[in-house]
Amino acid sequence: MVLTDYSEIRALLARHGFRFSKSLGQNFLTADWVPRRIAEEAGLDGGTGVVEIGPGVGCLTAELSGRAGRVVSVELDKALRPVLAETLAGRENIELVFGDALKMDLKKLAAEKLPGLRPVVCANLPYNVTTPLLTAILEAECFETVTVMIQREVARRICAGPGSGDYGAFGLFVQWHCETELLFDVPPSCFVPQPKVTSSVIRLTRRAAPPVQVSDEALLFRVIRAAFNQRRKTLVNALSSGLALDKETAAKAVENAGFDARVRGEALDLVGFVQITEEIRRMQSVDL
């Protein structure tokens, strides 16, 4: 069976009485080059263990199984259980786990299901929960690479640098943990049902250490969130309201870090945010 052939998928799903769920972000691939290329970009070999989230009918799962040592694939929709039992029959290195990936301990899942293998994530993610899923994947701090298809708009935000309108707190969080690469776009015509937006495949490669040293990582991300929560304000005003600092202290921190008091957060790179965080921390008299 060709798992990306539209008429075969339709017949298969009809046979199992399956109905697409919009709330589960179910847009299945119908172009065979896409799962093949995603799996190729994931850099798999016999020593890799893959965590996939959302196998759908299993087109990407099958590609992963042919390249990796083992695949554990998490699917929330139990209606896909009989479908996947049929489409992935005979593939010994795949284990299906039915449940909500957002409620799972992904580090434990990888350790238990993929022992002795280098864990990676590869998936066509459900778009409605992309941000919490990617956050959980990065916070698991065990996946060497994360090769995923997501909405193009989110992909751009993740890979954006200072000065761009796409630059923001989530991208900085991802860039703190990983090197980011925007690989290729996939048009809506490659899915059933067709999504309204273009998709992009990105690859995140976990850093051995953060790109810059900081003495208080939690404070760094409070500073970053405050800066982008009110991105049209100057950084001084955004920090003053976001961190409940008096304006004078916020201005001193920004200027002591070497920036003009009128600078906006979107102009700063990670190094700049770290410098400001260290300045705020140094101001011992301030109770944060």
CA–CA dist 230, 282 (Å, integer): 24
Please state the closest distance from residue 195 (CB atom) to ligand SAM, in A. 8
CB closer to ligand SAM out of 139 and 248: 139
Block residue for tokens 């600092």? 245
Q: Which residue is nearest to ligand SAM (CB)?
A: 54
Please state the closest distance from residue 84 (CB atom) to ligand SAM, in A. 9
Please state the closest distance from residue 104 (CB atom) to ligand SAM, in A. 8
Q: Are 180 and 160 in contact (CB under 8 A)?
A: no
Block residue for tokens 């760094």? 220
CB closer to ligand SAM out of 76 and 235: 76
Please state the closest distance from residue 229 (CB atom) to ligand SAM, in A. 27
- CA 14-193-170 angle, 5° bins: 130
CB closer to ligand SAM out of 83 and 254: 83
CB closer to ligand SAM out of 49 and 55: 55
Please state the closest distance from residue 223 (CB atom) to ligand SAM, in A. 31
Please state the closest distance from residue 55 (CB atom) to ligand SAM, in A. 5
CB closer to ligand SAM out of 123 and 159: 123
**β 199-206/48-53 pair status:** unpaired
CB atoms within 10 A of CB 265: 30
For residue 193, cis peptide bond before it (omega within 30 degrees of 0): yes
- CA 34-32-153 angle, 5° bins: 25
Reading the block at residue 187, the tokens are: 């048009």
| DSSP 8-state assignment for residue 168 | -
Please state the closest distance from residue 238 (CB atom) to ligand SAM, in A. 33
Please state the closest distance from residue 54 (CB atom) to ligand SAM, in A. 2
CB closer to ligand SAM out of 12 and 102: 102
- One-letter amino acid for residue 82 of the chain: P
CA–CA dist 91, 214 (Å, integer): 46
Give 88-125 as a DSSP string. Answer: TTT-TTEEEEES-GGGS-HHHHHHHHSTTSEEEEEEE-
**β 48-53/191-192 pair status:** unpaired
CB closer to ligand SAM out of 120 and 274: 120
- Residues in the site for ligand SAM, rule: CB under 6 A? 24-29, 53-56, 59-60, 74-77, 100-102, 124, 126, 129
CA–CA dist 165, 54 (Å, integer): 30
CB closer to ligand SAM out of 76 and 243: 76
